[in-house]
Structure 1
Amino acid sequence: MEVRVMARPSKYTSGRRERLPRNWKRLRLVVLHRDNHTCAECGGVASHVDHIVPNDDHSLSNLRALCASCHNRKTGREGGQAKARNQRKNGRFDAGPHPAYLRADEG
């Protein structure tokens, strides 16, 4: 008997990979070729394909080539923004000053 273990997505990932269309590999190659393997941000050599507007729109007009460094920077920025939105939505966002910045008479 064969037992298969299904990988669960990490709670720290976007889950985008599971939502990619079946033809993603082909779309990725089309975009890289269209953009001449040139990063849209820095002009370096691109190996990643990025969704310009972060959603599930996989149309060619919403995809662009990025280098790994620019893609990681953009993804990190979007992840931080999404985390802050979720914290505010769930009432866990405290915009108050950090305790280290409080004066002795305020603490």
Structure 2
Amino acid sequence: MSAKVYVGNLSWNTTDDSLLQAFSSYGQVVDSIVMRDRETGRSRGFGFVTFSSDAEAQTAIASLNEQELDGRRIKVNLANARGSGGGGGGQFTRS
């Protein structure tokens, strides 16, 4: 079963490829992505790396959390799984 890792505090210069390169020595990376702003295309400062196993993800977290990547100390931890559904608001009615 794959495990997704959250990577925060990324440099604006970090790319999908450099993220992949930094994490690939800790296991088989299934996917890596730097999240970007839809309108500007600029990095939002965080990304995700998916490993093929939980053990690989844990090794990467232990090895890379608080380490430097592209001049920034990155934060690495397990990504929070989003529950199904959304946080829909209540119905708005005018009186």
Q: TM-score if structure 2 supplies the norm length?
A: 0.31
Higher RCO, 1 vs 2 (CA within 8 Å, ≥6 residues apart):
2
Larger radius of gyration: 1
**Structure with the higher strand share, 1 or 2:** 2
